[in-house]
Amino acid sequence: MTQDQQTPGGQPAPQRGPSFGDSVQRVLREIAETVLPALIIVLFLNLFLIQSTRVQMQSMEPTLHEGQLLILEKVSYYLHPPQRGDIVVFRLGSNPSSHLIKRVIALPGDTLEIRNGRVYINGQLLNEPYESQPTYPNMPPQVIPTGSIFVMGDNRGMSNDSRSFGPVLQSDIIARAWVRYWPPDKIGVLR
């Protein structure tokens, strides 16, 4: 019926609203227009810029505790190499599905030595305010290879780190630990 048509009693025909199918189609289109771009943005952020992770072990205490939630950022190491003191997440070369979180202690070309429970870089005692205990075992001086870093956990007695598996290739670094967002009383930028 067109708008000019009338019912048999001479009254104008009632206007019909959109059908159920039209309503469902409109809602699905609105969801697609809203949710799909949001999912694409989240996927892009997660793949290339940031991601969330949960601390699984005690090797970074007292800085990080098991169960805390962190935001990792993936951009800075495209702009500059890792810096001493950075907390990084990396793939362990022998097991690519295993990710560890540790602190960068020595950089490519640095000479690292552990003597009497203390870490020396290029002959200078490393200032480690985050360290919770002495560092053992002693290690004779060794030069960190090009393209690698030497990492250790802050909880030296409970950390599986470069002292046991050697320097980490910079290409195995996934991200830098950036912000702790859980628990709420510990929210802050990591240092």
Residue 74 appears among annotated catalytic residues: no
Residue 59 appears among annotated catalytic residues: yes
| Inter-residue contact 112 to 138 (CB < 8 Å) | no
Residue 96 preceded by cis peptide, ω within 30: no
Catalytic residue among 19, 23, 52, 59: 59
The Cα–Cα gap between 157 and 46 comes to 33
3-state secondary structure of 30: helix
The Cα–Cα gap between 24 and 33 comes to 14
Residue type, 36: L
27 burial via Cβ count (<10 Å: 0-12, 13-18, 19+): exposed
| Inter-residue contact 71 to 167 (CB < 8 Å) | no
Report residue 164 as tokens: 């046991």
Catalytic residue among 102, 148, 159, 162: 102
Active site residues: 59, 102
